[in-house]
Amino acid sequence: MVTAYDDEIAELEIDATVDLARIEKAVREILVAVGEDPDRDGLVETPRRVAKAYAEMFAGLHQEPAEVLAVTFDIDHEELVLVKDIPFYSTCEHHLVPFHGLAHIGYIPSADGKVTGLSKLARLVEIYARRPQVQERLTTQIVEALEEHLDPRGAIVVIECEHMCMSMRGVRKPGAKTVTSAVRGQLRQQATRAEAMSLILGR
């Protein structure tokens, strides 16, 4: 079980790998560049807050999937394992604004029947989501991590998101959803893929 103490230690480790002072300086320059006064009451602490927020939002840059997928359990399960509706937030690498949505992860365990903990799949999403990211790459990275560390007979990842770079700027179409998928192994077969998609979409 992850405790508040564990979270505090993890935060200290992240802060040690991120140049917070450099981010603060850059944010201050941005505020000046757009015509703001970074020394007024409402903004004087903003550079520091943004630096801490970026350290948290991009923490996945300093984490590896092996950290969460290394532990497996031999329960001799041979059928599909699916965790759906995993909520997450990420940051578009093109505009540094958020995109958010749901991830659905399924896999058919390896021939020896070993599985990973269900919460580990949610943690895997967080590792790759907490980076400057694009949805297509995020989808592929998750399925490739499953292949590399779990050796499943099949894997599927479906992600559906709303992108703030489409909702609040540019074409300004709030509510528009983007869906991406990545499928490997036995789940590419029509019957197993149809079963997985039915479970994912059958809310």
Q: Is 62 an annotated catalytic residue?
A: no
Q: Find the catalytic residue in 36, 62, 100, 165.
A: 165
Residue 161 annotated as binding site: no
Q: Is 104 an annotated catalytic residue?
A: no
Q: Find the catalytic residue in 135, 141, 149, 161.
A: 135
Q: Is 100 an annotated catalytic residue?
A: no
Q: Find the catalytic residue in 64, 94, 136, 189.
A: 94
Q: Is 163 an annotated catalytic residue?
A: yes
Residue 9 identity (one-letter amino acid) = I
Sheet holding 98-108, edge to edge: 132-133, 81-92, 98-108, 154-163, 178-185
Q: Find the catalytic residue in 92, 133, 141, 161.
A: 92
Q: Is 165 an annotated catalytic residue?
A: yes
Q: Find the catalytic residue in 56, 93, 136, 148.
A: 93
Q: Is 95 an annotated catalytic residue?
A: yes
Residue 88's SS3 state is strand
Alpha-carbon span 68 to 57, nearest angstrom: 18
Q: Strands, DSSP E only, in the chain?
A: 72-74, 81-92, 98-108, 114-116, 132-133, 154-163, 178-185
Binding residues: 92, 95, 165
Catalytic residue annotation:
92-95, 135, 163, 165
Binding residues for Zn(2+): 92, 95, 165
